[in-house]
Amino acid sequence: MGNVYEKYGVNKYLSGMGLAVDADYHGFNAGQRILECRRPLCERLGVQVTATVFTAPASQHIASKIGFEPLAELEYATYEDNGQKPFASAPGKAIVMGLKF
């Protein structure tokens, strides 16, 4: 799903394992601020690209808002595992999104 190396012509990139904000902090732009921290971290590490799989509409929106672009998508309802569709009734999709600085 989405070859970050080929897309951006790099041999390394920073990825994350999720973006979650406690409900008590919704509305304070915490998710956006967390993602924005990737730029100075990448600069410090000498990394030009960041990419992550975003699985919720809120995180997809935030990522898009700060410049991430979609690289690949998977509708949950179409996902198959050994011929079974365990998420057949699940709405939404997972999106691999990347950003080059």
Query: What domains can be seen in the chain, in order of their start residue?
Result: 4-100 (3.40.630.30)
pLDDT score recorded for residue 8: 98
| pTM of the predicted protein model | 0.90
Within a 10 A sphere around the Cβ of 7, how many other Cβ atoms? 17
* Gap between the Cα atoms of 57 and 49, Å rounded: 22
Rounded Cα–Cα distance for residues 98 and 31 (Å)? 16
Residue by residue, pLDDT tens for the chain (101 residues) are 579 999 999 999 999 988 999 999 999 999 999 999 999 999 999 999 999 999 999 999 999 999 999 999 999 999 999 999 999 999 999 999 999 99
Q: What is the reported pLDDT for 2?
A: 72
